[in-house]
Amino acid sequence: MSIEELDFVKGFCRMCDDGFKQGWHERNGGNLTYLMDSDEVTAAKPDFLEPHGWVDLGMQETSLAGRYFLTTGSGKYMRNVLEDPAHNIGIVEINDSGTAYRIVWGLLNGAKPTSEFPTHCMNHAARLEVDPSNRVIYHSHTPGIIEMSNLVELDDRTFSRILWKMMTECVVVFPQGVGVVPWMVPGGVDIAKATSKLMKKYPAAVWAQHGLFASGSDFDTAFGPAHTIEKAAELYIASRAANGGSDKFLNAITDQNLKDTCCDFHVQINQDFVDCR
Ligand code: 2HA
Ligand code: ZN
């Protein structure tokens, strides 16, 4: 079986296309990485090409040493991934000390891993600390979240409470809430550090005026919360617009409603973000 026929590659390509169809990936916006397990590496290895030279990561992640990632390419369009995986995505190997990577498949014609590869690596390491089953980090340019970051205070509690209260099941989908990274220059180690700090507390983090980072143990559990968070943000924007711009809604989910929902669904709400006992 060729690499492009393997289930994890097909799932990866489908997710890129799903995000594009949602309107989250204009031009080359957004990126996706997937941490392969040893069976997936074994299945893909016969098709690996002559590896490229090692490239410095600009940081060290010892927990990722020797691991392999499937990643979108820098400057590549999510829109094109499904049709032509080998030119738009690729497999990279991390070296034994977790300081460098090399391309072993795909990213043809001199392409490189996503410009956000340092953020993805740090986020993988951060999520693995709190959830050893985590495999996916997904960055999208979600319009509702970007609109919301123009309008509300940029802090974790404010964002989480608004999103939870927009739709009953939100608090069940992300009961820890979401983190918020203030506006920062993308693509570097500083934003990677700020994001990965939040990803130790939350499975998703907003980038103000930029988009969203989501994580999960597979493509569904990363895409699903991203979809839910973005839908809640769009509901907030639409509700405010329909309410003359005001955020004082006639009816709203209360803090007690949030807690009762979590109790019934057996999930632990982030207690710091609710006001009642
Ligand atoms: O263009 O989304 O944050 C890729 C990006 C950078
Ligand atoms: Zn981006």
Per domain, the residue ranges of the chain are 1-115, 142-277
Looking at the CA of 31, name the nearest ligand: 1
pTM tops 0.85:
yes
Residue 27 CA to ligand 1 center (angstroms) comes to: 9
Reported confidence tier of residue 28, pLDDT bands at 50, 70, 90: very high
Ligand 1 atom showing the smallest separation from residue 139 Cα: 2
Give the pLDDT score at 277: 61
* Cβ contact 180:264 at 8 Å: no
pLDDT tens track for 180-218: 999 999 998 999 999 999 999 999 999 999 999 999 999
How many angstroms separate the alpha carbon of residue 150 from the centre of ligand 1?
19
- How confident is the model over 106-118, as a mean pLDDT? 96
Beta strands in the chain, from DSSP E residues, in sequence order: 31-35, 55-56, 68-72, 89-94, 100-106, 136-140, 179-181, 204-207, 211-216
65 CA to centre of ligand 1 in angstroms: 25
DSSP letter, residue 46: G
Whether the domain at 1-115 and the domain at 142-277 fall into the same CATH topology: yes
Pocket test for ligand 1, best of 28, 72, 140 (most atoms within 8 A of CB): 28
* Whole-number Å distance between alpha carbons of 124 and 110: 25
**Pocket residues: Cβ below 6 A from ligand 1:** 28-31, 115-116, 139, 186
Q: What is the CATH number of domain 142-277?
A: 3.40.225.10
DSSP codes joined into one string, 144-173:
HHHHHHHHS--SHHHHHHHHHHHSTTHHHH
Which atom, in ligand 1's list, is nearest to the CA of 27? 1
CA 82 to chain centre: 19
pLDDT tier for residue 1 given thresholds of 50, 70 and 90: confident
Give the residue whose CA is nearest to atom 3 of ligand 1: 186
Long-range contacts of 158-162 (CB under 8 A, 24+ apart): 159/206, 160/270, 160/273, 161/273, 161/274, 162/232, 162/236
**For 1-115, CATH number?**
3.40.225.10
CA–centroid distance, residue 30 to ligand 2 (Å): 5
State the DSSP string of 170-211: HHHH-TT--EEEPS--TTSHHHHHHHHHHHTT-SEEEETTTE
Question: How high is the pLDDT of residue 252?
Answer: 97
Helix %, strand %, coil % for the chain, to 5?
A: 45, 15, 40
Convert the pLDDT of each residue in 138-167 to its tens digit: 999 999 999 999 999 999 999 999 999 999
Residues serving a catalytic function are: 116
Q: What percent of the chain has pLDDT over 70?
A: 100
pLDDT score of 40: 98
pLDDT score, position 276: 73
259 pLDDT exceeds 90? yes
Q: Which tens digits make up the pLDDT trace of 79-97?
A: 999 999 999 999 999 999 9
